Amino acid sequence: MSCLRTLFLAPAALVMVVLILAPLGVVVCYSFLTRGAYGGVEWLATLDNYRRLLDPLYLEIFLRSVAVAGTTTALCLILAFPLAWFLSRAGRRKHLYLQLVLLPFWTSFLVRLYAWMFLLRDTGLINTILLAAGWIREPLPLLYNHVAVVLGLVYGYLPFAVLPLYATLERLDRTLLEAAADLGARPLGTLRHVILPLAAPGIRAAALLVFIPCLGTYLVPDLLGGSKTILVGTLIQNQFTTARDWPFGAAVSLTLMVFTVVAVLIWLRRGGDKLL
Amino acid sequence: MEAVLELRGVTKDFPGHRAVDGVNLQIPRGAFFSLVGPSGSGKTTTLRLIAGFEQPTSGEIWLNGRPIHHLKPYERPVSTVFQSYALFPHLTVRGNVEFGLRQQRVPEAARRLREALEMVQLVGKESRYPSELSGGERQRVALARSLVVEPDVLLLDEPLSALDPALRKQMRSELKNVQRRAGITFLLVTHDCEEALSLSDRVALINQGRIEQVGAPEEVYRRPKTRFVAGFLGPVNWIGEIGIRPEATRLSRQAPDGGVRTAPATVTESVFLGNRVHVRARLGTGEEIIAEVSHSDGLYRTGEAVHVWWRPEEELRFDGA
């Protein structure tokens, strides 16, 4: 019996060790070593990589990342909630609408970000139209700023907020809404005192699914943020490529990971979820 | 008696069928009024029209002398006890009962909350969640939650149907007590005739979206105006065009005295039911009847020749129907 169990668990265990634990071990190890002159590491143990993180410059990047991820999460929730509500009440058409929400996944995120660049850049579609219409004289600086990054992130992660919200709202008993109205609750009162509390698990799940990937995002700030908007993800990528400082990159990665895990644990504990 | 709630020619069409068809009803103030009918007869739709969850296709609904059919559910001074209770799962007993008071910003909420909980005997269970309550307790919370807002009419949608039979009988008498003490008009929707007849001051029978008869329980039972009403409220023996209730159908071995109607019959079956005996007999015309007799009449054997008789005043007669 236990022999069979071991056999069946082996592939999963192998994947865990080879693809997750081993690379993580390498990252932990590298973060305490000294950088090599041309990339790679030298086997000299040090805490310098973590000490460097205390530099206000990096602290600022870190806080900026949290702010961008937080803003994106908030915007995604605000946009996704009415959409999920609509989907959950759409009757027979709801599966069609759900497919539409998932439609963007049919092409690569990278391709879709390039499409945004074509829309937003100085010679892009929006500026061209506005210039031709004579409403502006110079192209609006739509690309390469924080707003563009948040826009790209909201665009990319909105479905991740819609799906868990849809799942909870779909299960919401309509009779409860009637009962609330029957007892004198106006629509806003019903929303606040019945719908939102009952949708809380879905809201928490949606927030996590957007916030975590946004915190470490690299593609969106790199393409839409330009050099002005450096986030943690871009910082890490820079260390491993142009800066050739693998130990520091490893230290930043690990710090981000520990921060995320702690934040998620606090968030879930607060909501009384039994997930962890 | 003064009507607190009045329905005037209320019709509700759904795609493909008419659920409520020109219903006129007057609910007297302070009454325990029941709307009885089989499933699909339009009784729940009628209740939902009064609560405001559905809009009538035509007709008017008046409450306390003013039309309310154009008002939103939260603007109508009526309250519903739902069949499924619809208790808020994230709120405690207190939170549920308080809900209406808070939404309507009622003064003296604490006193009314306490009174409502006392009335339904839920004191001491304020901090429980609905999932921690028994079926009967949930029913009481639903009742308290609706009573506490002091509605002009309390609407009850099959409130006892989710309970097991023993508890149903107990809650039935509690319901009646609560109605007397609260002095609130109750409008009960049910398919259970016994429930309607035992609880109500007045009963309305609804069939295929139409009101067939309105009256006191005894009146509608003894003097049904239509065959539907007669058959829905209890078993009927049909002899030609007239109906006789089994308990009014008598049997005797000798020909009965004058002044009663009589017909010869042959006993086909005798079923002992404990407190009474059901005797099945076939008339000369081929019609089968059931007579409900007591033990003192002695046992009838299958094949025995008997006289079936009844008093003319106990006949159920229908005009044309």
For position A272, what pLDDT does the model report? 60
Query: Closest Cα partner for A204 from A257, A275, A255, A153?
Result: A275
Please indicate, yes or no, if residue A19 is contained in any of the structural domains.
Answer: no
CB A82 within 8 Å of CB A165: no
* Residue pLDDT tens, chain B, 321 long: 689 999 999 999 999 999 999 999 999 999 999 999 999 999 999 999 999 999 999 999 999 999 999 999 999 999 999 999 999 999 999 999 999 999 999 888 999 999 999 988 899 999 999 999 998 899 999 999 999 999 999 999 998 888 888 888 888 888 898 899 888 999 999 999 999 999 999 999 999 999 999 999 999 998 999 989 999 998 899 888 888 999 899 888 888 888 888 888 999 988 888 888 889 999 988 888 999 888 766 678 888 889 999 998 888 887 654
Confidence category of residue A274, pLDDT binned at 50, 70, 90: very low
For position B250, what pLDDT does the model report? 87
Which residues are within 8 A (CB) of A187 and not within 5 positions of it... i.e. 6 or more apart? none
Contact state of B74 with A193 under an 8 Å Cβ cutoff: no
CA of A190: which chain B residue's CA is closest? B103
Please indicate, yes or no, if residue A7 is contained in any of the structural domains.
Answer: no
pLDDT at A79 over 80: yes
Using a CB-CB distance cutoff of 8 angstroms, which residues of chain A are in contact with residue B73?
178, 181-182
Question: What integer is the mean pLDDT of A13-41?
Answer: 89
The span from the CA of A9 to the CA of B97, in Å, is 51
Q: Measured over all CA atoms, what is the biggest interatomic distance in chain B, rounded to whole angstroms?
A: 73
How would you class B36 by CB atoms within 10 Å of its CB: exposed for 0-12, middle for 13-18, buried for 19 or more?
Answer: buried
Q: How far is A237 from chain B (nearest CA, A)?
A: 45
Q: Which member of B90, B104, B146 has the closest CB to residue A198?
A: B90
Using a CB-CB distance cutoff of 8 angstroms, which residues of chain B are in contact with residue A175?
82, 84, 86
The two three-digit tokens of residue B221, written as one number: 């039972």
Location of structure tokens 């035509």: B58
CA of B84: which chain A residue's CA is closest? A175
Using a CB-CB distance cutoff of 8 angstroms, which residues of chain B are in contact with residue A182?
51, 53, 73-74, 78-80, 146
- β-strand B261-272 against B305-310: which pairing, if any? antiparallel
Contact state of B82 with A179 under an 8 Å Cβ cutoff: yes
CA of A193: which chain B residue's CA is closest? B99
pLDDT at A273 over 70: no
Within 10 angstroms of residue A223's Cβ, the number of other Cβ atoms is: 18
Using a CB-CB distance cutoff of 8 angstroms, which residues of chain B are in contact with residue A181?
52-53, 72-74
Using a CB-CB distance cutoff of 8 angstroms, which residues of chain B are in contact with residue A186?
74, 103
Contact state of A184 with B53 under an 8 Å Cβ cutoff: no
Domains held by chain A: number: 1
The two three-digit tokens of residue B294, written as one number: 């007591």
For position B173, what pLDDT does the model report? 87
CA of A178: which chain B residue's CA is closest? B53
The span from the CA of B284 to the CA of B289, in Å, is 11
Query: Closest Cα partner for A201 from A123, A102, A267, A247?
Result: A267
Location of structure tokens 């609130």: B184
Q: Which member of B53, B72, B149 has the closest CB to residue A183?
A: B149
Q: How far is A275 from chain B (nearest CA, A)?
A: 19
Please indicate, yes or no, if residue A9 is contained in any of the structural domains.
Answer: no
Contact state of B88 with A175 under an 8 Å Cβ cutoff: no
Within 10 angstroms of residue B298's Cβ, the number of other Cβ atoms is: 11
For position B321, what pLDDT does the model report? 44
Contact state of A179 with B86 under an 8 Å Cβ cutoff: yes
- Whole-angstrom CA distances from A45 to A29, A34, A250, A257, B80 are 9, 7, 14, 21, 72
pLDDT at A36 over 90: no
Which residues are within 8 A (CB) of A111 and not within 5 positions of it... i.e. 6 or more apart? none
Location of structure tokens 């054997």: B301
Please indicate, yes or no, if residue A76 is contained in any of the structural domains.
Answer: yes
Contact state of A182 with B90 under an 8 Å Cβ cutoff: no
Indicate yes or no: pTM above 0.80: yes
Q: Does residue A178 belong to the interface with chain B, where contact is any CB pair within 8 Å?
A: yes
Q: Which member of B86, B88, B149 has the closest CB to residue A184?
A: B149
Summarize pLDDT for A160-174 with one digit per residue, the tens.
999 999 999 999 999
Question: What integer is the mean pLDDT of A226-249?
Answer: 87
Q: Does residue A196 belong to the interface with chain B, where contact is any CB pair within 8 Å?
A: no
Question: What integer is the mean pLDDT of A189-197?
Answer: 95
Task: Tell which wins on pLDDT, A140 or B216.
Answer: B216
Contact state of B103 with A175 under an 8 Å Cβ cutoff: no
CB B281 within 8 Å of CB B265: yes
Question: Which domain range does residue A157 map to?
Answer: 43-274
Which residues are within 8 A (CB) of B176 and not within 5 positions of it... i.e. 6 or more apart? B32, B199
Using a CB-CB distance cutoff of 8 angstroms, which residues of chain A are in contact with residue B103?
180, 183-186, 189, 193
Note the ipTM here: 0.86
- Whole-angstrom CA distances from A143 to A23, A75, A225, B42, B249 are 35, 19, 7, 61, 93
Q: State the helix-helix crossing angle for A146-171 and A94-102, rounded to 10 degrees.
A: 150
For position A266, what pLDDT does the model report? 87
- Whole-angstrom CA distances from A80 to A93, A163, A166, A204 are 18, 9, 9, 13
First to last CA, chain A: 29
The two three-digit tokens of residue B320, written as one number: 């044309």
Using a CB-CB distance cutoff of 8 angstroms, which residues of chain A are in contact with residue B129?
none
The per-residue DSSP string of B28-93 comes to ETT-EEEEE--TTSSHHHHHHHHHTSS--SEEEEEETTEE-TTS-GGGSSEEEE-TT----TTS-H
How would you class A218 by CB atoms within 10 Å of its CB: exposed for 0-12, middle for 13-18, buried for 19 or more?
Answer: middle
Please indicate, yes or no, if residue A24 is contained in any of the structural domains.
Answer: no
DSSP-based three-state secondary structure for B306: strand
Question: What integer is the mean pLDDT of A153-159?
Answer: 95
Question: What integer is the mean pLDDT of A207-218?
Answer: 92
Contact state of B86 with A183 under an 8 Å Cβ cutoff: no
Q: How many A/B residue pairs have CB atoms within 8 Å? A: 61
Query: Closest Cα partner for A27 from A259, A254, A243, A261?
Result: A254
For position B219, what pLDDT does the model report? 93
Run of H or E including B211: strand B210-215
Q: How far is B75 from chain A (nearest CA, A)?
A: 7
Contact state of A184 with B145 under an 8 Å Cβ cutoff: no
What CATH code is carried by the domain that includes residue A58?
Answer: 1.10.3720.10
Q: Distance from CA of residue B124 to its chain's centroid?
A: 32
Using a CB-CB distance cutoff of 8 angstroms, which residues of chain A are in contact with residue B146?
182-183
Location of structure tokens 């809201």: A203
